[in-house]
Chain A
Amino acid sequence: MVKFPSDEWIKNFKDKLNKNKTYEEVATNWEGDFLLIISPDEKLRDEVVFYLDLWHGKCRDAFIVTREKNAAFVFRGPYSNWKKVINNELDPLRGLIRGMFIVEGDSKVILDQAKAAQELVNTASKIPTEFEN
């Protein structure tokens, strides 16, 4: 089991994503890096930020951010909503529509990459994850 959120988890995610042929196919036009911000809520005390560099169906880099870092897109939401996404209980785009997540960056690009977003979630859901109690 890999603890979420942790550097180990995001690196595991990167490895799994780079082996995912479907993702490679649907994200072939994707260019752009992400900051995934896990905001604190009753289950998580401090904010955690992941950096994810996605490039034409591959993940070039993924790590937990400890210093200031910028990216083309920022996807932010509370820990409990991230948990639902990783458990494949919440489509992140549906979460966006309902205000459960906030995106910064060109949302039209994300709309175009809805299938890639779905595959990111499918990949995340395959990581044996241990959540905060």
Chain B
Amino acid sequence: MGKTLECYFWNPELDLEDKLDFKYQDIGNGIELKRPIFTNDALDKIITDLKKKRKEFLLKMGIANILDIIGKVTDQWMNSDYSRRKFALEVLPTITGFSVEMLESLGFGYMLGLLKKEHIPLTGKLQNKNFTEFAEHGDGLVRAYGETEVAYSNYELELIGHVCAGNILGLAPLEMVMDKLVDAATWIKVPKEEPVFGAIYAKSIEDIDPQFAYTIAILPYESKDSKVQDFLFSKSDIIRATGGQQAKKGLTDLAYKHNIPIAGHWHKFSFITIARDYMNKRAKDIAELVSFDVTAWDQQGCFSPQEIFVETGGDVSAVEFSEMLAEEMETISIRLPKGSKSGKMHVLDGYHQYLKKEMMGEPVKLFPSSTYQWLVIFDGNKPTFEPSPLFRVIKVKPIDDIMDTVSIIKPLGSFLQTVGVAIPNNRLMPFANAIGEVGATNIRTVSNMTLQRSWEPWDGRFPLQELFEHDGIRWVSINTRDIEEDIKESLERKRMLVNQSKVK
């Protein structure tokens, strides 16, 4: 018996289901996706109702009640016996192409855990004048770059629209919660690659508090459906969007047309820098930690590393480190295997491209997986930044000094995002200052690259603040105040997350 999954959610009292036509898509494994074909009339009713529910319920709720509801919803999802979680784990591997282990470990084990009450970011905005140098915030440090220049400010948001990219699970739930913290109603365009989880999550909110849930609508329209998008933009106070360069152009133009701000999170590059101080007996631990960064979300996230720069001069050379990493990649791929979206062709592409170089006598050495699960490439040529084919293909490049990374990645500028580091405390700050200056925004201990903290900025802006204000400040964070300690803790955290993935 097959399953038909509803990819939409809105207040059922609107009674629209009988009035709309639906499209059905068979995606295999007995799963069929059901998407509405929106009419202007239906969209108008949904948006009007969202605004009404906000006024009648959300605005009258104390923040304590809002936090309670968010807490209760998250508690449900943290329970591995929760029926909606079990259902999601049944269907999401087919829909997303990620393995059930990946979804369980990083999706439910980590991403949704960010919505636990104790992780809710209470400070939406910091005073940049207090952060002209890296200073304490959350569990780590942040620094502000630039001068305040407020281009947009709205403390009374009525409706926020979200256009979500499909590479990471869990974006829609995060957006729903963020919006409620600023008292706004929400519509979310879920991605075609993963149109289901947003609706499942919204229903889990409905289970706890229906009126609260009806300030949210999940609208799985197609990007090419410009009439729908045009209408939704025209009714919104701000749009937050994630996507590639093509999405950036279309969405930015549309926001401009409707004279509304857009908080965009577009294509980014991330990488790792490892200091020679760790290229000794600790190198194996570092390789274990790095293997998690490369494996997480099959390297599909903007925060996933595409290159690893290893400083020479330690006891362990960059090529020896590559071999250690290959061993760890093999180990972790057993616990966190690839799903149906294996990217085999991408891995093969990386392999053949570099095999040719190796055969031509270039200082290149390949460490492949026999099953195309992953590929580690040591490339001893003069280091430059080259995008990875992804799907667990990673290049290791030797550098003379960690500060050389700065000039290598400088051309990427605003395309930079997360920097995974294994750099001792006494060398980290000059590196962080320089790398922040050229455009990187999140510096995280290796193995934490894909583990966003709720207090951290996202692409240089705080996720709550960018909903109500755009002030031109670019924030850079370091996820810890003590990297030596964090490396120890990261090993435990990584092992716990990976072990969580044992399918019950």
Residues of A within 8 A of B (CB): 91, 93-94, 96-100, 102-103, 107-108, 110-112, 114-115, 117-118
B120 in contact with A111 (CB, 8 Å): yes
Q: Does B468 touch A at the CB level, under 8 Å?
A: yes
Of the candidate stretches B124-132, B207-215, B281-289, the one touching chain A is B124-132
Enumerate chain A residues within 8 angstroms of B181, measured Cβ to Cβ. Answer: 97
CA A110 to CA B117, docked complex, whole Å = 11
Q: Does B465 touch A at the CB level, under 8 Å?
A: yes
Q: Which A-chain residue is minimally distant from B125 (CB atoms)? A: A99
Q: Which A-chain residue is minimally distant from B118 (CB atoms)? A: A108
Q: Is the interface of B mostly helix, strand, loop or mixed?
A: loop
CA A112 to CA B120, docked complex, whole Å = 11
Enumerate chain B residues within 8 angstroms of A96, measured Cβ to Cβ. Answer: 122-124
Which listed residue (B62, B118, B183, B465) contacts A99, Cβ 8 A?
A: B465
Residues of B within 8 A of A (CB): 62-64, 67, 117-118, 120-127, 155, 181-183, 464-465, 468-469
CB distance from B453 to the nearest CB of A (A): 13
CA A118 to CA B64, docked complex, whole Å = 8
CB distance from A113 to the nearest CB of B (A): 9
CA A117 to CA B65, docked complex, whole Å = 12
List 18 additional contacts besides A108-B122, A117-B64; criterion CB under 8 Å. Answer: A91-B63, A93-B64, A94-B183, A96-B122, A97-B63, A97-B121, A98-B125, A98-B468, A99-B124, A100-B155, A103-B122, A103-B123, A110-B122, A112-B118, A114-B64, A115-B62, A118-B62, A118-B63
Enumerate chain A residues within 8 angstroms of B124, measured Cβ to Cβ. Answer: 96-99
CA A94 to CA B124, docked complex, whole Å = 9
Q: State whether A111 and B465 are in contact (beta carbons under 8 Å apart), knowing that A94-B183, A96-B123, A97-B124 are contacts in the complex.
A: no
Which listed residue (B64, B117, B121) contacts A115, Cβ 8 A?
A: B64
Which listed residue (B63, B121, B465) contacts A94, Cβ 8 A?
A: B63
CA A115 to CA B464, docked complex, whole Å = 22
Of all A-B residue pairs in the complex, the 5 with the closest CB atoms, nearest first, are A99-B125, A114-B64, A97-B124, A107-B122, A115-B64
Which listed residue (A98, A100, A111, A117) contacts B117, Cβ 8 A?
A: A111
Q: State whether A111 and B62 are in contact (beta carbons under 8 Å apart), knowing that A97-B122, A97-B124, A103-B122 are contacts in the complex.
A: no
A93 in contact with B123 (CB, 8 Å): no
Enumerate chain B residues within 8 angstroms of A93, measured Cβ to Cβ. Answer: 63-64, 122
A97 in contact with B464 (CB, 8 Å): yes
Q: Which A-chain residue is minimally distant from B124 (CB atoms)? A: A97
CA A110 to CA B121, docked complex, whole Å = 11
Q: Which A-chain residue is minimally distant from B64 (CB atoms)? A: A114
CA A99 to CA B91, docked complex, whole Å = 40
Enumerate chain A residues within 8 angstroms of B62, measured Cβ to Cβ. Answer: 91, 114-115, 118
Q: Which A-chain residue is minimally distant from B127 (CB atoms)? A: A102
Enumerate chain B residues within 8 angstroms of A97, measured Cβ to Cβ. Answer: 63, 121-124, 181-182, 464
| A97, A108, A117: residue with the most chain B Cβ atoms closer than 10 Å | A97
Enumerate chain A residues within 8 angstroms of B121, measured Cβ to Cβ. Answer: 97
Q: Which A-chain residue is minimally distant from B122 (CB atoms)? A: A107
A-B contact pairs, 5 of them (CB 8 A): A93-B63, A110-B122, A111-B67, A115-B62, A118-B62
CA A114 to CA B465, docked complex, whole Å = 20
CB distance from A107 to the nearest CB of B (A): 4
A99 in contact with B126 (CB, 8 Å): yes
CB distance from A25 to the nearest CB of B (A): 13
CB distance from B212 to the nearest CB of A (A): 16
CA A112 to CA B127, docked complex, whole Å = 24
Q: Which A-chain residue is minimally distant from B181 (CB atoms)? A: A97
Enumerate chain A residues within 8 angstroms of B67, measured Cβ to Cβ. Answer: 111, 114
CA A100 to CA B183, docked complex, whole Å = 15
| A103, A110, A115: residue with the most chain B Cβ atoms closer than 10 Å | A115
| A91, A108, A111, A118: residue with the most chain B Cβ atoms closer than 10 Å | A111
CA A118 to CA B122, docked complex, whole Å = 15
CA A98 to CA B464, docked complex, whole Å = 8
Q: Which B-chain residue is minimally distant from A114 (CB atoms)? A: B64
Enumerate chain B residues within 8 angstroms of A108, measured Cβ to Cβ. Answer: 118, 122
B123 in contact with A99 (CB, 8 Å): yes
CA A111 to CA B464, docked complex, whole Å = 16
A111 in contact with B123 (CB, 8 Å): no
A107 in contact with B123 (CB, 8 Å): yes
Enumerate chain B residues within 8 angstroms of A114, measured Cβ to Cβ. Answer: 62-64, 67
Enumerate chain B residues within 8 angstroms of A111, measured Cβ to Cβ. Answer: 67, 117-118, 120, 122
CB distance from A111 to the nearest CB of B (A): 6
